[in-house]
Amino acid sequence: MSGFLCSCGNLPEPYAPPPQLPVFEAPSSGVRVLNMADADAETHFVQDIAPSLEANTWRWTGKRPTVRLFPGTTRNLNYSIEFAIAGATFAQTGPVTVSFFVNDHLLDQVHYGAPSRQRFEKAVPGAWLDANGYAVLAAEIDKLWIPEKREAKPLGFILVSLGLEQK
């Protein structure tokens, strides 16, 4: 009986599996403005951006919300941010100044004297960027809203989008 089992079938010759290539996660390609509602938004957060998405559109920030993006180029890029100074926080802080940074270079500072929705755009010097590296973008508010409850976090502003746009 054992001869019957051994004599059946033609098995293929053994072969080596194909070489295995390492898997690298390539940076997302090209210039990008990161919307807070993007499915992968949190993977770009460096600091001071709330994990919870509000109204399917925006997130609260702390003092210096920061994101990391891969621009893929250094030419003709604008820093772009859409945000709002909330009336509820403005009632305590009064006028605020927001400073805008690219790779820790100060791009500009703007004073806001009233609560409102804002859009800021400005050309980024190509020398501040590395086409093969990441760009770290930040916006820093000079005064935070401090909650009455100790367990609540101080708030900066409402962030809708932040990134780089091709001119």
Q: Which CATH architecture has domain 31-166?
A: Sandwich (2.60)
In this model, does residue 21 exceed pLDDT 70? no
Q: Phi/psi of residue 110, each to 5°?
A: -130, 135
pTM: 0.82
In this model, does residue 14 exceed pLDDT 90? no
Band (pLDDT 50/70/90 cuts) for residue 24 is very low
Per-domain boundaries in the chain: 31-166
What pLDDT is attached to residue 124?
A: 98
Pairing of strands 96-102, 105-112: antiparallel
What pLDDT is attached to residue 133?
A: 94
